[in-house]
């Protein structure tokens, strides 16, 4: 069996690594909280490792999924990190939503050690990870993408090479910018329907058959109407992602007035105690306080 390593077993990484094990790969895992890697090994009959060095030993592909740029560099760099311990020829694939700068830096460091590297952020949230239905946006060489494709396909419904290192992260930024505007628009529409005395569920039933239809409407409108916000990607993480988008926009000259405004709205949600609510909770700040 091909040995693959998975570093980072959060709400995304845990099921993603599980799909690899279910597909027949020999999976070695490491997580900062060791109890989680031990539990994963019990759930999926894999190997829980005490260190990153142990986790990457004998592996041909190393996958990572951590929190942010700082977390990412911490697991890759230094004597105890992936770069120092992976064997030459190993392909490193990062699923973290991070900056393009971090991806480009790691790609350069990997090349110096004769390692492959791809940035491969994902979209689809926790539910997509659990169902193996993620969209993966890759940055790297075509040869590395060909090597990675059968592995990533175990938990992807869509998988594309977008360009060189950093292109995957930039594509994920486009994704988050689009989502921010869509969720705010849907929040305002549903809020208007409620204030107008309409049955919001019936409104959605009608308008979802026309030009207003979107993934957010199909998958989040009912829970938004019900005031339930425990169904996916957290506000804290969205603000992290939008900060990355806005920083990249300052560099490339893109103007993102709506994304910048929605980022502030998510700040309001955080102030309401909604740090862990899902991104559809934007509607909460529009509703009259009871």
Residue 284: active-site member: no
Q: Which of 36, 47, 170, 172 is catalytic?
A: 172
Per-residue HEC secondary structure of the chain comes to CCEEEEECCCCCHHHHHHHHHHCCCEEEEECCCHHHHHHHHHHHCCEECCCHHHHHCCCCEEEECCCCHHHHHHHHCCCCCHHHHCCCCCEEEECCCCCHHHHHHHHHHHHHCCCEEEECCEECHHHHHHHCCEEEEEECCHHHHHHHHHHHCCCEEEEEEEECCCHHHHHHHHHHHHHHHHHHHHHHHHHHHHHCCCCHHHHHHHHCCCCCCCHHHHHHHHHHHHCCCCCCCEHHHHHHHHHHHHHHHHHHCCCCHHHHHHHHHHHHHHHCCCCCCEHHHHHHHCCCCC
Which residues are known catalytic residues? 172
């Amino acid at each position: 069996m091909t040995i693959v390593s998975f570093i980072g077993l959060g709400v995304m990484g845990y099921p993603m690594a599980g799909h690899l094990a279910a597909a027949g790969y020999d999976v070695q895992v490491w997580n900062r909280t060791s109890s989680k890697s031990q539990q994963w090994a019990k759930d999926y009959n894999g190997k829980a490792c005490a260190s990153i060095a142990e986790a990457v030993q004998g592996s041909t592909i190393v996958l990572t999924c951590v929190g942010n740029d700082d977390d990412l560099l911490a697991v890759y760099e230094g004597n105890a990190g992936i770069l120092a311990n992976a064997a030459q020829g190993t392909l490193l694939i990062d699923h973290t939503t991070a900056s393009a700068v971090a991806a480009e830096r790691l790609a350069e460091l990997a090349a110096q050690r004769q390692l492959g590297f791809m940035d491969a952020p994902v979209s689809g949230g926790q539910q997509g990870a659990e169902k193996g239905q993620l969209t993966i946006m890759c940055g790297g060489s075509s040869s590395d993408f060909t090597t990675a494709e059968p592995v990533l396909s175990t938990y992807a419904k869509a998988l594309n090479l977008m360009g060189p290192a950093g292109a995957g992260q930039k594509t994920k930024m486009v994704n988050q910018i689009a989502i921010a505007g869509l969720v705010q628009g849907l929040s305002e529409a549903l809020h208007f329907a409620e204030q107008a005395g309409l049955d919001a569920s019936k409104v959605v039933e009608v308008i979802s058959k026309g030009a207003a239809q979107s993934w957010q409407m199909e998958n989040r409108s009912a829970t938004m109407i019900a005031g339930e916000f425990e169904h996916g990607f957290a506000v804290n993480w969205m603000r992290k992602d939008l900060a990355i988008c806005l920083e990249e926009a300052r560099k490339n000259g893109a103007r993102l007035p709506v994304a910048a405004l929605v980022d502030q709205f998510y700040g309001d949600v955080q102030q309401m105690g909604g740090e862990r609510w899902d991104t559809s909770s934007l509607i909460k700040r529009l509703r009259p306080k009871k």
